Amino acid sequence: MQKITILIHCKDQKNIIASVTTFIAQVGGNITYIDQHVDVEQNVFFMRLECEFANSEITIESFKADFDKTLASKFDMSWDLYSQEQKPKMALFVSKYDHCLFDILGRYSAGELNIEIPVIISNHNDLRWIAERFDIPFHLVPFTKDNKDEGEAKQIELLKEYEIDFIVLARYMQIITPKLISLYENRIINIHHSFLPAFPGAKPYHSAFKRGVKIIGATSHYVTEELDEGPIIEQDIARVSHIHSVEDFIMKGRDLERIVLARAIKLHAERKTMVYSNKTVVFS
């Protein structure tokens, strides 16, 4: 065990910080980064730590057992531990839009994302050629009203086969089933092409154009059963004016979608996001 990231949340109580930091010190760890937050209204405490264990004999298993016994039970914590050496495995769900796919694969190839992308799943064959260019397995999983159960079963089978940690919907444009959502709770990231909660649903650029807004946006969020209502991870905006047509909105929006989604992937992969009350704490 060398470098780990720990995420904790629990009811806010006295002396949590002191207790956790003392524990880490006692087992031979050095805290290299600490972030903490208290939601005063809801009385919830959040913490993210990065620790190094140089020359320590402690294993992840014994650390976990100790932490559970000593701290987690005492403060009634929900907590997770991640080795920084292990890259999370991300599945890409795509449909027909290629700009987010190109952007993610470009970043991936350029070594910008500390993840693995073992598989791309799509309900159409249109983007297969891109997957092939980047040497990533591409699976066609048709998904319509009529074959929902079959499609879902195939998706889940592939996610298991490739040992997927989290899913990114790169303009996938299809409903994700409740079963898949519950299997990957807070681990499915979507990019919505509007500044949520403005313009939810389909054709947001058309609605934004009609309303005459001066700023458009994009929103990356975790997928929940309520469409476009999941916890927001990241948002960004671009200015528009009367000179821009709906097509211009769409074109400007593509840049927003690319960047907002890429940022959300990075934050999730680095374990910098925590979810509660349908909101996120993002330690960035």
Residues that bind a copy of itself (CB under 8 A): 14-15, 17-18, 21-22, 24-25, 30-34, 36-41, 46, 98-99, 102-103, 106-107, 109-110, 112, 130, 133-134, 195-199, 211-215, 217, 231-237, 241-243, 245, 251, 254-255, 259, 262, 277-282, 284
Helix axis angle for 246-269 and 204-211, nearest 10°, is 130
What are the helix (H) ranges across 27-78?
60-67, 73-75
Cβ nearer to a copy of itself, comparing 40 with 145: 40
Torsion of CA 182, 284, 21, 83, to 10 degrees: 60
d(CA 236, CA 232): 11
Please give the structure tokens belonging to residue 77.
């914590």
Cβ nearer to a copy of itself, comparing 143 with 222: 222
Residue 260, phi-psi category: left (phi > 0), alpha (psi -120 to 50), beta (remainder): alpha
**Least distance (Å) between residue 129 CB and a copy of itself:** 10
Cβ nearer to a copy of itself, comparing 136 with 183: 136
Active site residues: 228
**Least distance (Å) between residue 169 CB and a copy of itself:** 18
**Least distance (Å) between residue 277 CB and a copy of itself:** 8
**Least distance (Å) between residue 151 CB and a copy of itself:** 26
| Amino acid identity, position 215 | I
Nearest C-alpha neighbor of 258 from the set 29, 65, 99, 38? 99
Cβ nearer to a copy of itself, comparing 13 with 144: 13
Say which residues have a Cβ less than 8 Å from residue 180's Cβ, sequence separation at least 6: 152, 155, 156, 188
